[in-house]
């Protein structure tokens, strides 16, 4: 009996240990490097699928815009309150022609959205429940644009004249290697430097955007102002990653050449500047999206400014600037915290941050509807203009934006009456996206994380670089170190 017990004990322990081996693994056959031509479908969509628009998204942003601005959306049947602009019903969304809209929402965090989307797209050909449309972000746009899972938009009836008013960079990044446009965006995301008027007045003697811009026109001037800020007890930037995009958008070579990772001089400039700022106390040692970083943008913060793009200024910064947050019943109005106390200027270099594109999935059985959604949401001038006026988002329509920029009476309450669209309209044509790769998101994140150790003094530059390569190759095992 005791012997049996002993044997059992041993086996149980082994079984416990064995359970660790239960890693996931699927035996999908290999297909090698992806082709760009849209995939042939092995199976046709079911009748149900032909009546359903299935859209993959990672948050509610596009849902909200779609319900509010898409003219073919059946608000009544879907239970949408057109006065409050929110969905009160709990049922599905419907279009006026009776088709159903199904949203598949997967959180972006930790590559989750892409994992789920990839799995679904790989199964698309064999499935009778077709995905019709999916959304992608700038950082990994090329991964889908240069794949067999997106349909050239010309094939579904979106012409060059439809997209003529779009900013060039939004089309450039969405063009596959065969020259066909694969995705369109309703927004352009030029970045600006948003600074606090009160601190500017106190330290620099002026809060006028033109004069402040003159003092921040290049990195040397920017450094000088940082020194002045520090002398008066303020921080120039909040954290390590704040200026990252301003450098990384101005690189002279892409992250990856063939399968070799290459590090541009601009990125090392960011490293040196940030190390310098950290050692001299010009920043507050926070990290992007951390609680302390958000807090720095509010009334208790001592930080002069933040690099932000369109959506960041009107949504994130405006929300963080409040004394009483919206969650606690505060309102976005002048007098609540720093609302109305910020202003924007171009800053030392042009950059962009983020942006969302719409793709038509290869094999979609509702291409007409998808094309119509794209035309209305991204190519229609009136909708674009209203969208900007209502939501403060910056839309991808040059002439609509120019009209707002030229409107002297237009101004943002949050920015103390400044017409930010004017600055965005000036900055947007300068955006370049020709150095992007499909690896950008992972490599940017790995680079920022690895060099945080260097800024905090836990590692020297070489060690940080070594750790970056380790993390990079873990993420993309097909790449190699230079």
Partner 1 sequence: MASSNKHKSISYAKWGYIFILPFFIVYAAFQLYPMFSTIRDSFFSKMTVGLIEYPEKFVGLDNYTALFKEGDIFTYFGNTFIIWIIGFIPQIFISLLLAAWFTDIRLKLKAQGFFKVVIYLPNIIMAAAVSMLFFAIFSDIGPINDIYKSISGSDTPYQFFSHIASTRIIIAIINFIMWYGNTTILLMAAIMGVDPALYEAAEIDGATPSQTFWQITIPSIRPILIYVLVTSLIGGVQMYDIPQIITNGQGNPVRSSMTVVMFLNNQISVGKNYGKAGTISVVLFIVAAILSLAVAAFNSMDQIAENRAAKLKKKKLKGALKI
Binding residues (CB under 8 A) for partner 1: these are 2, 6, 9-10, 13-25, 27-34, 110-111, 114, 118, 121-122, 140, 143-144, 147, 149, 285-286, 290-292, 295, 438, 442, 449, 452-453, 456, 458-459, 463, 467, 470-471, 474-478
Say whether 189 sits in a helix, a strand or coil.
Answer: coil
Instruction: State both tokens at 79.
Output: 């239970």
DSSP code string of 144-191: HHTSTTB--GGGGT--TTTTTTS-HHHHHTTB-TTS-B-EE-SB--BE
Residue 282 or 414: the one with the smaller Cβ distance to partner 1 is 282
Gap between the Cα atoms of 248 and 233, Å rounded? 29
Which residues is 52 bridged to in the sheet?
A: 100
Residue 149 or 394: the one with the smaller Cβ distance to partner 1 is 149
CB of 474 to partner 1, least distance (A): 4
Residue 81 or 460: the one with the smaller Cβ distance to partner 1 is 460
β-strand pairing of 52-57 with 100-105: parallel
CB of 16 to partner 1, least distance (A): 7
CB of 291 to partner 1, least distance (A): 5
CB of 39 to partner 1, least distance (A): 11
CB of 249 to partner 1, least distance (A): 22
Start-to-end Cα distance in the chain: 62
Contact 158, 184 (CB under 8 A): yes
Residue 121 or 349: the one with the smaller Cβ distance to partner 1 is 121
Closest C-alpha among 283, 282, 251 to residue 447: 251
CB of 293 to partner 1, least distance (A): 9
Closest C-alpha among 404, 451, 411, 449 to residue 425: 404
What burial class does residue 222 get, using C-beta atoms within 10 Å of its C-beta: 0-12 exposed, 13-18 middle, 19+ buried? buried
Residue 159 or 260: the one with the smaller Cβ distance to partner 1 is 260
CA 281 from chain centre, in angstroms, equals 29
CB of 159 to partner 1, least distance (A): 28
The Cβ of residue 32 has, within 10 Å, a number of other Cβ atoms equal to 5
Tokens 């995009």, residue?
245
Residue 147 or 321: the one with the smaller Cβ distance to partner 1 is 147
Residue 124 or 187: the one with the smaller Cβ distance to partner 1 is 124
CB of 126 to partner 1, least distance (A): 15
Gap between the Cα atoms of 63 and 72, Å rounded? 14
Residue 34 or 324: the one with the smaller Cβ distance to partner 1 is 34
Say whether 180 sits in a helix, a strand or coil.
Answer: coil
Residue 179 or 477: the one with the smaller Cβ distance to partner 1 is 477
What secondary structure letter does DSSP report for 312?
A: I
Closest C-alpha among 306, 318, 310 to residue 190: 310
Phi and psi (nearest 5°) for 26? -115, 145
Contact 351, 427 (CB under 8 A): no
Gap between the Cα atoms of 136 and 354, Å rounded? 10
Residue 263 or 459: the one with the smaller Cβ distance to partner 1 is 459
The Cβ of residue 33 has, within 10 Å, a number of other Cβ atoms equal to 5
CB of 373 to partner 1, least distance (A): 24
CB of 121 to partner 1, least distance (A): 7
């Amino acid at each position: 009996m005791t012997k049996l017990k002993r044997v059992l004990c041993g086996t149980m322990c082994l079984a416990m240990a064995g359970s660790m081996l239960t890693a996931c693994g699927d035996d999908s056959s290999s297909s090698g490097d992806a082709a760009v031509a849209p995939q042939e479908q092995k199976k046709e969509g079911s009748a149900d699928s032909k009546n359903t628009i299935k859209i993959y998204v990672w948050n509610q942003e596009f849902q909200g815009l779609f319900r509010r601005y898409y003219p073919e959306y059946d608000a009544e049947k879907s239970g949408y309150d057109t006065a409050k602009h929110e969905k009160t019903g709990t049922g599905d969304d419907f279009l006026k022609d009776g088709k159903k809209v199904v949203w598949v929402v997967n959180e972006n965090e930790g590559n989750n959205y892409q994992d789920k989307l990839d799995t679904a797209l790989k199964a698309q050909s064999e499935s009778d429940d077709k995905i019709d449309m999916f959304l992608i972000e700038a950082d990994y746009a090329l991964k889908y644009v240069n794949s067999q899972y997106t349909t050239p938009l010309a094939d579904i009836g979106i012409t060059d004249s439809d997209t003529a008013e779009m900013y060039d960079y939004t089309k450039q990044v969405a063009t596959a290697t065969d020259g066909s446009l694969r995705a369109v965006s309703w927004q352009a995301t030029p970045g600006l430097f948003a600074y606090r008027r009160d601190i500017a007045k106190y330290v620099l003697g002026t809060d006028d955007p033109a004069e402040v811009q003159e003092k921040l026109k290049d990195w040397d001037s920017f450094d000088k102002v940082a020194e002045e800020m520090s002398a008066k007890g303020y921080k120039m930037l909040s954290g390590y990653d704040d200026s990252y995009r301003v450098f990384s958008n101005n690189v002279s070579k892409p992250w990856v050449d063939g399968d070799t990772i290459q590090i541009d001089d601009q990125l090392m400039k960011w490293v040196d500047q940030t190390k310098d700022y950290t050692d001299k106390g010009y920043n507050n040692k926070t990290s992007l999206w951390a609680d302390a970083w958000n807090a720095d943008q509010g009334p208790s913060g001592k930080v002069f400014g933040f690099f932000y793009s369109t959506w960041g200024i009107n949504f994130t910064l405006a929300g963080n600037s409040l004394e009483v947050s919206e969650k606690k019943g505060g309102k976005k109005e002048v007098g609540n915290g720093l609302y109305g106390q910020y202003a924007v200027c171009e800053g030392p270099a042009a950059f962009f941050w983020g942006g969302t594109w719409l793709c038509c999935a290869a094999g979609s059985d509702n291409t007409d509807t998808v094309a119509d959604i794209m035309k209305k949401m991204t190519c229609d001038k009136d909708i674009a203009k209203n969208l900007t006026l209502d939501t403060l988002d910056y839309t991808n329509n040059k002439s609509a934006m120019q009209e707002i920029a030229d409107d002297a009476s237009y101004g943002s309450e949050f920015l103390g009456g400044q017409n930010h669209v004017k600055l965005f309209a000036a900055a947007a044509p300068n955006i370049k996206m020709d150095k992007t790769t499909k690896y950008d998101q992972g490599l940017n994140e790995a680079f920022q994380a690895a060099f945080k150790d260097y800024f905090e003094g836990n590692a020297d530059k070489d060690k940080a670089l070594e750790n970056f390569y380790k993390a990079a190759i873990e993420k993309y095992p097909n790449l190699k170190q230079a």
